[in-house]
């Protein structure tokens, strides 16, 4: 557990997840209509009364993902790429509310699809790198199932898009934390001065 606490990249990633889910929880409490609207997580970014918690959720998560990028050793290219890509794509998703116009909606769909695709690819890489050990494989399989369901529900009017997106992100978070904990465990707190110098 000490190695877990000493890895700043994991700390930043977890803080990003906390920001995401706390912000979404507040938004849901303010306006629970989105739970049944089949509009996905983006629903709360298109209503004035929930834009504040939605902003905290998305941009807060993006901020900590970018912090995780700078806290990860350069040799861990895939993790660093994922943190940077996720952080920037979340900003792009936030900046393109899907109700603004047809063109903005299309951009929103592209950015959202890229975000899910990138996360799925990274999850597969982590599963392979960990040699299918621990709980990472079941979490990945459940994550993959929710990718399929999300794709289906995004094409229909009635469905459970919010729930499949949340389940996907939860499973992705589990895969990420397990993967980072095992991959970055060798980077102990005593190595942080060298790590800071390396990433400067």
Instruction: Quote the pLDDT of residue 131.
Output: 83
Pick from 93, 63, 183, 173: nearest CA to 133 = 183
Instruction: Quote the pLDDT of residue 134.
Output: 66
Provide the domain limits for residue 86.
2-199
Q: What are phi and psi of 96, to 5 degrees?
A: -125, 70
Pick from 186, 197, 200, 192: nearest CA to 3 = 186
DSSP string, 31-93: -GGGGSSS--GGGGGSSGGGHHHHHHHHHHHHHHHHHHHHHS-TT-HHHHHHHHHHHHHHHHH
Instruction: Quote the pLDDT of residue 199.
Output: 52
Count of domains observed in the chain: 1
Instruction: Quote the pLDDT of residue 190.
Output: 46
Tell the burial category of 72 from Cβ atoms under 10 Å away from its Cβ (0-12, 13-18, 19+): buried
Instruction: Quote the pLDDT of residue 189.
Output: 47
Measured between alpha carbons, how far is 26 from 30 in angstroms, rounded to an integer? 6
Measured between alpha carbons, how far is 96 from 158 in angstroms, rounded to an integer? 23
The number of residues in the chain equals: 200
Cα 94 → chain centroid: 13
Low-confidence ranges of the chain (pLDDT < 70): 1-6, 134, 187-200
Instruction: Quote the pLDDT of residue 37.
Output: 79
């Amino acid at each position: 557990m000490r190695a877990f606490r000493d890895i700043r990249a994991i700390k930043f990633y977890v803080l990003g997840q906390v920001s995401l889910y706390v912000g979404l929880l507040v938004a849901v409490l303010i306006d629970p209509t989105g739970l049944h609207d089949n509009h996905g997580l983006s629903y709360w970014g298109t209503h004035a009364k929930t834009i504040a918690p939605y902003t905290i959720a998305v941009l807060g998560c993006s901020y900590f993902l970018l912090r995780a990028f700078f806290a990860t050793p350069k040799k861990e290219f895939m993790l660093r790429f994922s943190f940077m890509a996720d952080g920037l794509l979340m900003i792009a998703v936030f900046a393109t509310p899907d109700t603004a116009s047809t063109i903005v909606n299309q951009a929103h769909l592209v950015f959202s699809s890229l975000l899910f695709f990138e996360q799925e690819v990274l999850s597969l890489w982590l599963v392979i790198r960990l040699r299918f050990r621990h709980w990472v494989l079941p979490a990945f399989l459940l994550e993959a199932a929710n990718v399929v369901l999300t794709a289906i529900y995004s094409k229909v009017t009635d469905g459970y898009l919010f729930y499949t997106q949340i389940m996907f992100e939860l499973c992705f978070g589990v895969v990420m934390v397990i993967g980072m904990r095992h991959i970055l465990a060798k980077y102990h707190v005593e190595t942080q001065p060298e790590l800071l110098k390396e990433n400067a």
